Structure 1
Amino acid sequence: MSTRRDFVSGLALSAAGLALATPLRFAVAAGGALPAAGALQARAIPSSGERLPVIGMGSSGSFEVGSDAAARDPLREVLRRFFAAGATLIDTAPGYGPAEGVIGDLLEELGLRQQTFLATKIGASGREAGLAQFERSLRLLKTDKVELLQVHSLQDWRTQYPLIEELKAQGKTRYTGLTHFVDSGHDELAEVVRAVKPDFLQVNYSVISRNAEARVFPLAQELGVAVLVNRAFEDGKLFARVQGKTLPSWAAEAGIGSWAQAFLKFALSHPAVTAVIPATGRPERQSDQLLAGHGPTLSQAQRQSLIELFG
């Protein structure tokens, strides 16, 4: 079965993260000094009540840099800004090349593992293969447990989800999850969510890809399942479509200072969404996009305005 990494391989990813309700001040970014900010927004995980930052950080593409020291340098700063803002949620997977190893090394080097809500996935066929893959993930991530363990793109979910439940009972993960990354997988995702009721589901959603609204989001709300959104920028394609365009006239009143913030706020404005997990390897984008965790949620009229922009 194809994975999200297969789908986005070769694309330049943009992104960022933000976080838990913690006071913060941002450092000066490439574009100039960013304004002081108050508490970041956080939302409750329905199954536990634990609060999670509304924007986390993915790692597909951005953290697939291997051991090259020069390539890792900007990632250190990306992580510093992420955690300085109070952010915690980092999502990765064995299918993202060397990303797990890079994350493990940098979190250990920076002393940040204890602050991290760490999520990874099992994308294998067969119980033994799934267990071996997870044990390898723990070694690469330099940890003995993760906060969230997900079935990657529903691969062999009938085997892997019960395994994840066993690992949860053993204290190897605190939450269970299921993921997908394309609209064509939404119906199956909804069926499996209905069958097993995980703690989390992860799904693609953006201003131009709103299929999750039809079935996946209502089901998550009905069953009390937390929702992580991937591909909120359509793997960077949304930025090409707004190149040279000015932000909507209402952007400032919504606390929006960039298109990245607009796209993240759009995803977050759906009431089913718990957090968005874009990926970035560029510190200046991290600083910009962290600001999407402040200010009001978009109104229905503002959401419609963005939808019509791409109509």
Structure 2
Amino acid sequence: MTTRPARTTLGTTGPATSAIGLGLMGMSDLYGPADEAESIATVHAALDAGVTLLDTGDFYGMGHNELLLHEALRGRDRESVQISVKYGAQRGPDNSWLGYDASPAATKASLAYSLRRLRTDYIDVYRPARLDPKVPIEETVGAIADLVKAGWVRHIGLSEVGAATLRRAAAVHPISDLQIEYSLISRTLEAEVLPTARELGIGITAYGVLSRGLLSGHWRPDTEIAATDFRGHSPRFQGDNLTHNLALVEALRAIAEARGASVAQVAIAWVASRGSDIVPLVGARRRDRLTEALGALDVQLSAADLAAIEAAVPAGSAAGDRYAAAQMAGLDSER
């Protein structure tokens, strides 16, 4: 029987939550077709297993993901879950990306629509999806702080921002957590962002712990990528890069099999081992994948295991950036 997740808090000022969370993006968008009934069943299975942190975004399927989450939570105790919402990404009716708007007016308008779609009176953690280069972070955080005072938001989070931005934001209002990609092959936050977050008492909610499925142990060189799956344009899934990266996965597989675990479980357990202030988000869209991911809770990595993992997949060993060049250029966390 899989261990139930421990309880933790997001940073020193954030909400109490499960020590592992469920990311819902793939249930609506960006990873190709998903089965809505299975998605809802997966959310139910996560809740029944003790996962209470649910992460969504108002631009995931242009509102579909929030509507799906509302349906999944129907009849559940609202106070028993923590809903994290990202906002700010602007999209067209053709699914195109139009930039970001985290201005005070857009911040408050976006929240109004999220509250309506989710059919809730408050959001536990509200965060801009990216730094809006047109708007000082102080103005964005100040607008969310107004929503906290009004009771519509309980905690302020950030996503994919760098150390300097973290400091400026925290000077305006306490920040509960920073959502940022963190996996065995995405470790740039370790240099400056993670130490700064820890200095400021800001937790980390780590998404991409399986690097978009690359570290799942299930991806193959001939895996078909749907036209609507953004991995078809991701550098790490292209040509020689993919060949190189899958070789890293095979090295990790040898370690996992020696431990009686799957590749995915070891990859998730590695992220969890980086500190009690780090909460991994798993992006399971199906119950079987969720069960596998939660099995990471039973994987205790020894010092010898961690050393073997580090030798097999050292920092910086991945081929290709985690996003295409245009998207990388807009990441404050990578500057």
- Per the normalisation by structure 1, the TM-score is 0.76
Shift in CA distance, 194/158, structure 1 to aligned 2, threshold 3 Å: closer
Matched, 1:257 2:261: yes
Query: Which among 40, 43, 48 is matched to residue 8 of structure 2?
Result: 43
Aligned equivalents of 2:189 and 2:149: distance in 1? 30
Show the counterpart of 2:181: 204
Matched, 1:53 2:18: yes
Q: Aligned ranges for residues 216-295 of structure 1 at < 5 Å? A: 216-239=193-216, 240=219, 241=246, 242=249, 246-248=253-255, 252=259, 257-271=261-275, 273-295=277-299
Aligned equivalents of 1:49 and 1:152: distance in 2? 18
Matched, 1:79 2:43: yes
Matched, 1:165 2:142: no
Matched, 1:302 2:305: yes
**Once the 2 structures are TM-superposed, how far is the Cα of residue 103 of structure 1 from its aligned partner?**
1.1
Query: Which among 107, 123, 131 is matched to residue 108 of structure 2?
Result: 131
Query: What whole-Å deviation, never above 9, does each CA across 1:107-141 have from its counterpart, x for those lacking one?
Result: 12x53534221010231242222211110011111
Q: Partner of 1:257: helix, strand, or coil?
A: coil
**What letter matches 1:81 in structure 2?**
A
The answer on whether the counterparts of 1:202 and 1:229 sit within 8 Å (CA) in structure 2 is: yes
In structure 2, stretches of 5+ residues that fail to align are 89-100, 220-245, 318-335
Shift in CA distance, 116/194, structure 1 to aligned 2, threshold 3 Å: closer
Aligned equivalents of 1:139 and 1:38: distance in 2? 35
Show the counterpart of 1:15: none
Aligned equivalents of 1:189 and 1:126: distance in 2? 16
In structure 1, stretches of 5+ residues that fail to align are 1-35
Q: Partner of 1:266: helix, strand, or coil?
A: helix
Aligned equivalents of 1:245 and 1:217: distance in 2? 24
Show the counterpart of 1:90: 54
Show the counterpart of 1:63: 28
Query: What whole-Å deviation, never above 9, does each CA across 1:239-280 have from its counterpart, x for those lacking one?
Result: 34225974416853xxx6211111111111112643111212
Q: Partner of 2:284: helix, strand, or coil?
A: coil
Matched, 1:145 2:122: yes
Shift in CA distance, 84/140, structure 1 to aligned 2, threshold 3 Å: same
Aligned equivalents of 2:54 and 2:155: distance in 1? 14
Query: What whole-Å deviation, never above 9, does each CA across 1:176-202 have from its counterpart, x for those lacking one?
Result: 11101xxxx535544545544512111
Aligned equivalents of 1:189 and 1:208: distance in 2? 24
Q: Partner of 2:23: helix, strand, or coil?
A: coil
Relative contact order higher in (CA < 8 Å, ≥ 6 apart): 1
**Once the 2 structures are TM-superposed, how far is the Cα of residue 143 of structure 1 from its aligned partner?**
0.6
Matched, 1:120 2:85: yes
Aligned equivalents of 1:289 and 1:81: distance in 2? 12
Q: Partner of 1:175: helix, strand, or coil?
A: strand
Q: Partner of 2:25: helix, strand, or coil?
A: coil
Query: What whole-Å deviation, never above 9, does each CA across 1:133-167 have from its counterpart, x for those lacking one?
Result: 11001111111101111122122333321111111
Matched, 1:101 2:101: no
The answer on whether the counterparts of 2:159 and 2:179 sit within 8 Å (CA) in structure 1 is: yes
Aligned equivalents of 1:189 and 1:307: distance in 2? 30
The answer on whether the counterparts of 1:179 and 1:202 sit within 8 Å (CA) in structure 2 is: yes
The answer on whether the counterparts of 1:201 and 1:227 sit within 8 Å (CA) in structure 2 is: yes
Aligned equivalents of 2:8 and 2:258: distance in 1? 23
Shift in CA distance, 193/251, structure 1 to aligned 2, threshold 3 Å: farther
Show the counterpart of 1:21: none
Aligned equivalents of 1:137 and 1:104: distance in 2? 10
Shift in CA distance, 205/164, structure 1 to aligned 2, threshold 3 Å: same
Aligned equivalents of 2:304 and 2:171: distance in 1? 35
